[in-house]
Each structure stands twice: as C-alpha cells, then as structure tokens.
Structure 1
Amino acid sequence: MNKSNLILVTLLIFSVLISLTFGSVLLTDLTYMQVFSIIIDIRLPRALMAVLTGAALAMSGAVFQIILKNPMADSFTLGMANGAVLGSSLVVVSVLPIFLAPIASIVFGLATMLLVVAIARKIDVTYRPETLIITGILLGALLSGLLYLLILLFPNETANISRYMFGSLGGANFNQVGILLFVTGVSFIIHLKFSRSLDLLKLGDIRAHALGVKVSLVRPLLLMVASIPPLIAIGYTGIIALVGIIIPQLILYVKPMTFAPLVKRSILLGALYVLFIDTLGRTIIAPIQIPTGVMVMLSAVPFFIFLLYKRNFKRS
C-alpha cells in the first residue's frame, strides 16, 4: 500500500470513530447501556453503510468512465437509478410488504441495465459507448416519467417515495452491510482481474481489439459487474448520485493513473467522502437530519463545477 492510500485508510478509520461519537443525541446524558445500544445498533451500521456505499459508487464510476469513455459517466448513466427507484416505489404504493422494496429496487435496476444492453446490441453489436449512453438516457427519461405518473396517482405515498428519491442512510443494519460488503468485494476483485483490459480500452476499441481485448464481450460484462454494487446500495439507501462522477475525476485531476491504482484510490476516497457528508448531514442542524443524497448534491455540484472550470482553464 502506497503512502497516499495509507493516509486515506487512517483518515477513514478515524472518521468512523468520529461518526460514532457525534449525532443528534448527546451520549453524555445517557446510561452505559443506552450509549452501547446507540453506537452498536444505530451509528456503527450507518457508518459502515456510508463507507461501503461511497466505495461502491466511486468504484463503479471509475469503471463506467473508462468503458463509456465519458468523464460524466457513472453507475447511474444507463438509467439504472431510475429503474431502481421505480421498483421501490411500486412496492410502496402496492399491497406488498415494505421489506421487498430493496429487492424490487435491485431487480428493476438490473432489468433496466439488461434492457439498455439488449437495445444497444440491436442498434450496434459492438456496444459503442455513445450507443449505450444515448439508450440509457432515453430509457431513464421514460422511467422517470412513469415515476412521476405514480406520484400523481398515489399522492398520499409521496413522502415514502421521496425517501428513495433523496437517499438516506438511516435505518441501516448489519445484514445490509454484510450483503453490500460481499458484493462490492467480489466486484472489486473481478475489476482488478480485467484491469489490463480496462487500460487498453482507453486506447480505443480498434487498438484494444488488436491487443487481444474482446471488446464486445468485456464491455457489457464489466458494465453489469460494475452495476450490481450501486444497485444494491440504492435498494437500501435510495439515490445518492454524483459520487461516482466526482471522485474518479478528482483523483485524475490531481494525478493521471492506470485503472488498478485509480480504482483503489476511488474506493478509499469515495468511502471517506460519503461518511463525512452523512455525518455532517445528521449533525449540522440536529435533531433534523438532512438526507445523505441531498447533502451530496449540495456539496458535489459546486465542487464539480470548480473542477470543470480549472480543467478548462488549464487547457486554455
């Protein structure tokens, strides 16, 4: 582990401890058992969920930006977030038990991803990035329209649907943490196995193919592998957007690097970022808790505009 990553790991551990200490409830006013219950049952799983969600989103964003050759791409580019929220919302407005909402979110998100890939294949068998992106944007717009129609038909459920639209880490538990940890870990290992292929894809499809990369197989395979962790995170937390875009771009702005070190750095920085933002959101105006997705948008958009300005300024 290089020095920079070691510093990020140290900061991450320290930030988890800080997150366990601060919250809407002052621990000094409670008994030992109450403090133990709040830290172990509420704050620790939430902190771990924040770490894993940030890691999953940043990792997938790094993969998507290489595969789709677009610095604005992340795991939501292909309409998956729209499908995931629609799936959760359908459970909310139906007679189905609410615990099925995360499952519906995952199923609908993956179905959206597969539909985008299937449509793109009909248009272009090589799955060119522009074909996938345009197809994903159009399908995402269609699913958003269905979601708004659902809100109009069931106005009494708007508050419940908005939980998935705004993104919140409240209510996280160790079962969710365990599932997301396993899936994110498997996805990370697979991506590292294909790190050379991902580096070659930066050279263009023709050169990558000439150097032994089966582009028509690798591109959809890695898109699906990169999609599963953020979809599972969405199922538990709702939409927390922009993390997958801004974290890899921030790293590459500071120092260009190949895929393997980029994805490792993205995981650590993404985890640290979401943990910090979530802790800030639930303490800054306590006892009111600002949804994590809202906090990310408030912090990431100005910062990303600044990055775009600096990048264009350097080119001019």
Structure 2
Amino acid sequence: MRFRFSHRLASPYLSSFCSRGSRAKSRGARQSNSPLGARPRDRALPGKALPWRGSDKVLGTCGAPRERSWRLQLLRVLSHSSRGPGPFPGVIDLFGGSGGLIEFRAILLANRGFAVLALAFFGYDDLPQTLEEVDLEYFEEASTLLLKHPKVRGPGLGVVGLSKGSEIALAMITFLDQIVAAVCINGATGMRGASLRFRDVYIPAIPYAVEKVLITEMGTMSSYHVMEDPLDERHHSSAIPLEKAQGPVLFVVSESDQSLNSKLFAEAAIARAKQHGKRNCALLSYPGAGHLLEPPGSPLCYCSAFRSISLPNQWGGEVELHAKAQEHSWKEIQKFLELHLGPVGKSNF
C-alpha cells in the first residue's frame, strides 16, 4: 500500500504551514471551531491558517524507500497566554472506522500543552477510501516525522486512539519503538475486519460477522455482536501480542458501548499481558457510558450515520453517566500522558 501522509499537527506554540497548497477539507470529519493561528511573526485572524511551502522528504513505504511529496499542516492553537517555545511532549491522535481527518481532540490536547499529530489513515485526501489492511510502516513513518520536529520532545511519543484507532494504537505500542505510552478507548484488542502488516509480521483479521447485526426498535443498527468473542480460541491468531510492548497501556472502556463489548476485549488483552509478565496495563471502566467517549463538553451521540451504511449506527450511552465518564476520563488520560511523556507547557485552560 503506497500513499502520502494526511495529517495535521496541533501544538501549543507552533506555526501553520502546508507543503502542497492550501489546506484540504476532511471528508466525513467533524469541523472544529477552535481558532487556528500563524507563525509568530505573522498576523492572522482567528480561524485562518497561513500557508507556506515546505520541502519534500524522502520516506520509505512498505520497506521500499522512495521520494514523495507529503502534506503537513501545523496548527498553533491560540490561547490567552504563551506556553513558551517548547519542546513539548508529542502525541499521535487516531479516530475510528468513519475515516477522514478528525482534529478536535488533537486541538484540545494541544491546548493542554501537548504537540499532537492528528493522523488520518483512510477515507481522506489521497488515502484509500476503505481500510483493507493496516500497514504499520505508515504509522512508523509518521512517528519518526513527529519526533524529528524541533518543537517535539523525545525520546518517545504517546498515542491516543478511539475505536479502530484504539486497535491501531495498541499495535503501535506493541511493534513501534517510537511509541512509549498508549491510550486505547473502546476498541478491539485483535485485528477485526482489516489485517495488519509490519515488515515480517502479519496478523490476519477476523472478518466482521455481519449476519449478527441487529436492527433495534428505534430503527438503528447495533454491531455489538459483530466483533465476536475475543476469548474464542479460533481467534487467537488475530490477537495483538500486547506482551511484546515495553511501554504502559491505559484502556478506557464504556460499559454501555453498543458498538462492541470493549470491556471484554480490554480485559482479555490485560489477562494475556499478565500471563507473560507484563503488568503495566491499566483499565478505566465507566458504567452507562457509550462508545463515542470524547472530551468533556461533547454531547452524547447515541446513534448517527456511519459511512455508506443506510441505517444509523447505535453507539449507546446514558446522558448523565456518559457526561461524567467524559469528565473523569479526560483528566485521567492527560495525567497518564504527562506521567509517561513528561510535563507539558503552562496553560490557562
């Protein structure tokens, strides 16, 4: 699989640039109203990003280095006070099966003093429109690129992923040396629907059991049983070998998740890790919370349209409990990242 990077980097005190023209609109991604800034020596109105030309890079894909152009837009989130010149702890932010480039969580984390790369991996720009296989070298190159930035403090990065992004985040901390801490939110802990390939590693995918889709009385679609049981011995070959990861993992799960049994998947992964002597995994579990666990202030999304599916997909959750879960988990995620990546910049937020 060969494609260019499609991503944006949000940082507390960094400039905006684009190496190939102006910023592209994301497909199917939520639009953020957070103000975007410019280089410190430029002036820009809130909501504007000033483009300038960067240089092409020589990067390898699928083990075969080749020259290619890539699009990178660096966003400075404006706040009421400067947090200094950095460097800042770096984080890669991944969302799920809806595809596209979704930036709001990256921008909010940047407001907290992290340098965050919002990384699309399908359904955006020149990336594949469907996810057939997870090519982990793409994520390795993105990690290397982020670590080379002078405003990013190494030696390692964190990764935050939701849903399919959680699955990929778990694979990243398992196989990539650059990743030293992972937050996995409501995702499978084995490859589901799309296989994984990384050099000589291949993890086959368990196909989605589409015959187990349920249509609710509301007319929504529930995919809760589509992922099937992670404890089924037939599926062990698809499990991500978390025991190989050196860094810590924080699993954040919602007990009213109607997309998958995320708590069962997390518990299975933690049990497997403990069997191999790995004990730096933690679990946060929230009764009444739904699948789309997001930063506080985000309204509960109980169901919504999902890519090309004709029926709304049911995500689950109860309004009050979901809101409380978002408040608590957001604080714990930041604590976890700061604990393992080092202190962040100052913030008024």
Question: Under TM normalisation by the shorter chain, which class is it?
Answer: under 0.3
Structure with the greater relative contact order (CA < 8 A, sep ≥ 6): 1 or 2? 1
TM-score of the aligned structures, taking structure 1 as reference length: 0.25
Structure with the largest fraction of strand: 2
